[in-house]
Structure 1
C-alpha cells in the first residue's frame, strides 16, 4: 500500500512538472522572438498569480488558528502542493540550465522544493502550506511585472516606478517584519512538528538575505534620486521665501 501511494504521488509530481514544461514550451512557441528569461518570467507570473489567489483562499488568513493548522489535508490543498512542486522543480531546472540566477535564488528554489516535499508527506499541514505559499508568492506578480515593463522599454515610466515601489514595500513589510513575527510564533508553538519549524526558519533565512539585497539595491538606485528631490525641495523653499520678501 505504501509503495502504491508513493508511486501515485511520484506520477502526480511528474504530471505537474510536465504541465509547467509544456507551459514554457507553449509560451516559447507563442513568442519565439522573446528571450528565454522572458518565457520563464511569463510562466512564473502565471504560477505566482494563481498560487497567491488559491493560497490566500485555502489559508483563510482571517480564521487561522490551531484547529485549522492541525486539520486533515484537503484534496484542494494536496492538489496545490503538487501543482507548486512541479513549478519549483521546473524553475530550479531552468535556473541550472541557464545559470542566470544567483546562488541565493537557487537556494530559495531548492528550499521551496524540499519544503513542498515535506508538506506532501504530512496528513494535516495543508493550511500551513497554503499560508506559507501565499506569503512567498504574493509579491511575485509585482516582481515579474516590473521585469517585463523594463524589458519592453518602460523602465523610466511612472507605472514602472509605481510597480517597483509597491513591490519593494510589500516585500520588505512581509518578509522582514510579518514573517519575523510568524517564525517567532511558530518556534514557540507546541503543535507544529520540528521539521515544519526547520522549514520556516530555512525559508526565513533565505528571505532575510533577499531583504538585504533589495535594501542594498534600493539604497544604490534611489540615493541620487532622493538627493535630487531634496535639492528640488530646497529650491522651491528658497523661491517661496524670495516671493514673500520681494513684492
Structure 2
C-alpha cells in the first residue's frame, strides 16, 4: 500500500507539472496573436532560464568534486526533476503535434524523460541530475533569443551575430568538454547502475549529433566569410613581406 501511495503521489506531481507548462503555453497562445512555435519558445525560454540557474546552484560549483556527484538526493533537486519532467513532457507533445521532422529532438526528449524517471527513483542522483540539466539548458536561452531576433527581422544585426556566436561556442565547448567529463565520471562510478549509464550515453550521443549539426551549420553559413578572412590574411602577410 505504501508503494502504491508513493507512485500515485509521484504521478500526481508529474501531472501537475505537465499541466502547469501546458496551461502556461495555452494562456500565452490565447492572449496573443503569435504562432504556436513562438508561444512554445517563450515557454522553452522560461524553463531554460530557471532550470539552468537552479541546476547550477544545486551543482555546488564552489565545492564541486567527483564525490559530490553521488551525494543524496535533496528536496530541491527532487522539485527540479518534477519541474523539468513536466516541461519535457509538454514539449514532446508539442513536437509530435506541430513539428515531427527533427527525429533527434524527439529522441532527446524521450531520453530526458526516461532519465528523470530513472534518476528520481534513486537516492544518489540529485547532484548529477542538477549538473546535467544545467548543462543541457544553459545555452537554451541564447538559442531562443537567437530565434526571436531572427523572427523579428534582426538576423543581420551585430546583436544577432554576438548571440549566435556565443551560443555556438558555449554549446560545443560545454557539451563537448564538460559533458564528456560527466559521462566519464558516471561510467566509471560504481554508484550508478547499468540503466543510468545507458541513458547517460544516450543523452551524450544526442549531444554529439547536435554538435555535428552545429559544426555543419557553421561551415555552411560562414564558409564564404572564412575564405574572405583567409584571403585578407594572405594579402596582409604578402604586404608585410613586401615591406621587409
TM-score (norm 2): 0.92
Task: Name structure 1 gaps, 5 residues minimum.
Answer: none
Distance, in Å, in 2 between the alignment partners of 1:231 and 1:31 is 48
Deviation (angstroms), 1:236: 5.9
Equivalences for residues 129-144 of structure 1 within 5 A: 129-144=129-144
**1:111 matches 2:115:** no
Distance, in Å, in 1 between the alignment partners of 2:90 and 2:31 is 19
Residue 229 of structure 1 is matched in structure 2 by 229
Residue 127 of structure 1 is matched in structure 2 by 127
Partner of 1:68, secondary structure, is: helix
Distance, in Å, in 1 between the alignment partners of 2:205 and 2:111 is 10
Q: Contact conserved, 2:69 with 2:128, CA < 8 A, in 1?
A: yes
Equivalences for residues 87-98 of structure 1 within 5 A: 87-98=87-98
Residue 83 of structure 2 is matched in structure 1 by 83
Partner of 1:134, secondary structure, is: helix
Q: Contact conserved, 2:66 with 2:185, CA < 8 A, in 1?
A: no
Deviation (angstroms), 1:235: 5.5
Deviation (angstroms), 1:227: 1.7
Q: Contact conserved, 1:66 with 1:191, CA < 8 A, in 2?
A: no
Q: Contact conserved, 1:88 with 1:112, CA < 8 A, in 2?
A: yes
Partner of 1:58, secondary structure, is: helix
Equivalences for residues 52-63 of structure 1 within 5 A: 52-63=52-63
- Superposition CA RMSD, Å: 2.0
TM-score (norm 1): 0.91
Deviation (angstroms), 1:64: 3.0
Q: CA 1:164 to 1:66, structure 2 compared with 1: closer, same or farther past 3 Å?
A: closer
- Between 119-128 and 166-175, the greater mean CA deviation after superposition: 119-128
Deviations 1:197-243 (A, max 9, x none): 1121111011011111111111000001112233445566677889x
Distance, in Å, in 2 between the alignment partners of 1:101 and 1:138 is 24
Distance, in Å, in 2 between the alignment partners of 1:171 and 1:52 is 13
Q: Contact conserved, 2:77 with 2:130, CA < 8 A, in 1?
A: yes
Partner of 1:110, secondary structure, is: helix
After the TM superposition, which segments of 4 or more aligned residues of structure 1 sit over 4 Å from their partners? Answer: 232-242
Partner of 2:117, secondary structure, is: helix
Number of residues paired by the alignment? 243
Deviations 1:30-71 (A, max 9, x none): 322x21111111100000010000000011123234553333
Distance, in Å, in 2 between the alignment partners of 1:100 and 1:7 is 31
Q: CA 1:78 to 1:87, structure 2 compared with 1: closer, same or farther past 3 Å?
A: same
Q: CA 1:8 to 1:69, structure 2 compared with 1: closer, same or farther past 3 Å?
A: same
Q: Contact conserved, 1:52 with 1:138, CA < 8 A, in 2?
A: yes
Q: Contact conserved, 2:53 with 2:134, CA < 8 A, in 1?
A: yes
Deviation (angstroms), 1:120: 1.4
